[in-house]
Amino acid sequence: MDTTRVLRVGTRASALATTQSEHVAAALRDRLGVATELVEITTEGDRSQASGVPLSQAGASVGVFVSALRDALLTGEVDVAVHSLKDLPTYPADGIALAAIPEREDPRDVVVARDGLTLGELPPGSRVGTGSPRRIAQVEALGFGVELVSVRGNVDTRIGKVRSGEYDAVLLARAGLARLGRLDEATEVLDPLQVLPAPGQGALAVECRAEDDHTREALAVLDDPATRAAVTAERATLATLEGGCSAPIGALGDVVEGEEGPELWLRAVALSHDGARAVRNSASSPLGDDAATWPQVAADLGHRLATDMLADGAAALTPAAESAPTGTPHHPSARSAEVHNA
């Protein structure tokens, strides 16, 4: 590729976002020998976070952290946009290509608790901070009797609430701590058998303008086919489920080497908001040797799994009124993978 060109990489301004974007920019410099420049874009989500407006009232359900970066791509302000994949809505964006999904971090959730404690060691009534309906429902389902309280702000602010004694623990994505070099703060890694991560958690999405073939082909060197297959299955599960229900959803895919070649495994859960009821399912599919066909196999697997879950009662987990959040324009598949604030 043209080594005199500077690739402008758009990023949100948070510590996590700039770390992730710099990681992608460094990989582009190493792999392609191009120069890069990080361009910070302030998103609506960052602004509403600063003003204290609850994200649930600020349009968080339509990918509030994502649209400003995409606008910067479309206007030509930047050439590349880096997002946390779990923040991307499941429906495609006009004029935008998902050019690379690099190898993902460990997708699990972690606990950061006082005194090195695990969730099960916290006494009943302990205050556990999270804003994620998915985490709330799955932790409620464990029956430990902890009190789930909402928490806002970036990773640093959240951990600060434990250090200050305001909360006994907070729940976070392990990937965020890993990227920030703060994994030692985690006091427990949650087993996916108990708490399934959000679809796409731990993975990055690297986008460019759909018609910018030059950048698109260059970015392809960062793509990891196994990660793309796993997250494509997770997001297809979410897309199909959210067409029929508004329940919190966890999903985890994994590519493993089977006796007859690579296989894709997928597990998912949909829960009532209080965690009292859940529909779980799992499935697997051989992938074949041609990685170019994996995304379609993955999408089909996710769609089938979710269709079975809807038939098993996933649609009845939440009252119909919940499927149209007030103040948010209703799009049948307008949720990002995780409505959540950081």
Burial of 335 (0-12, 13-18, 19+ CB in 10 A): buried
Toward ligand PBG, which CB reaches closer, 63 or 244? 63
Toward ligand PBG, which CB reaches closer, 108 or 209? 108
Report if residue 24 touches ligand PBG, rule: CB under 6 A: no
Report if residue 340 touches ligand PBG, rule: CB under 6 A: yes
Give bridge partners of residue 307 from the DSSP assignment: none
Strands 80-84, 6-11: pairing kind: parallel
Q: Rg of the Cα trace of the chain?
A: 20
Is 87 assigned a catalytic role?
yes
Is the distance from CB of 338 to CB of 201 less than 8 angstroms? Answer: yes
Least separation in angstroms between CB 130 and ligand PBG: 9
Toward ligand PBG, which CB reaches closer, 86 or 209? 86
Report if residue 253 touches ligand PBG, rule: CB under 6 A: no
Toward ligand PBG, which CB reaches closer, 17 or 255? 17
Toward ligand PBG, which CB reaches closer, 34 or 229? 229
- Interface with ligand PBG (CB under 6 A), residue from 59, 63, 176, 253: 176
Give CB contacts under 8 A, 24+ apart, made by 323-331: 323/245, 323/246, 325/56, 325/61, 325/246, 327/57, 328/59, 328/61, 328/62, 329/62, 331/62, 331/91
Least separation in angstroms between CB 33 and ligand PBG: 27
- Interface with ligand PBG (CB under 6 A), residue from 60, 73, 101, 172: 172
Report if residue 302 touches ligand PBG, rule: CB under 6 A: no
Report if residue 84 touches ligand PBG, rule: CB under 6 A: yes
Least separation in angstroms between CB 171 and ligand PBG: 8
Q: If you write DSSP's letter for every residue of 250-288 in order, what string do you get? A: EEEEEEEEETTEEEEEEEEEEE-TTSS-EEEEEEEEE--
Least separation in angstroms between CB 175 and ligand PBG: 4
Which residue among 30, 71, 79, 87 is the active-site one?
87
Report if residue 205 touches ligand PBG, rule: CB under 6 A: no
Q: Please, where are the H alpha helices in the chain?
A: 15-32, 44-51, 67-74, 133-142, 155-163, 174-179, 213-219, 225-244, 294-311
The span of 72-80, 168-176, 236-244, 307-315 binding ligand PBG (CB under 6 A) equals 168-176
- Interface with ligand PBG (CB under 6 A), residue from 8, 70, 86, 267: 86
Give bridge partners of residue 80 from the DSSP assignment: 9
Report if residue 173 touches ligand PBG, rule: CB under 6 A: yes
Toward ligand PBG, which CB reaches closer, 65 or 209? 65
Tell me how many residues contact ligand PBG (CB under 6 A).
12
Report if residue 87 touches ligand PBG, rule: CB under 6 A: yes
Report if residue 207 touches ligand PBG, rule: CB under 6 A: no
Is the distance from CB of 128 to CB of 139 less than 8 angstroms? Answer: yes
- Whole-angstrom CA distances from 134 to 2, 234, 265 are 44, 14, 21
123's CB contacts (< 8 A; 6+ apart) are none
- Any idea what DSSP says for residue 147? E
- Interface with ligand PBG (CB under 6 A), residue from 201, 232, 281, 285: 201
Report if residue 267 touches ligand PBG, rule: CB under 6 A: no
Q: What are the residues binding ligand PBG (CB under 6 A)?
A: 84, 86-87, 172-173, 175-176, 201-202, 338, 340, 342
Catalytic residues: 87
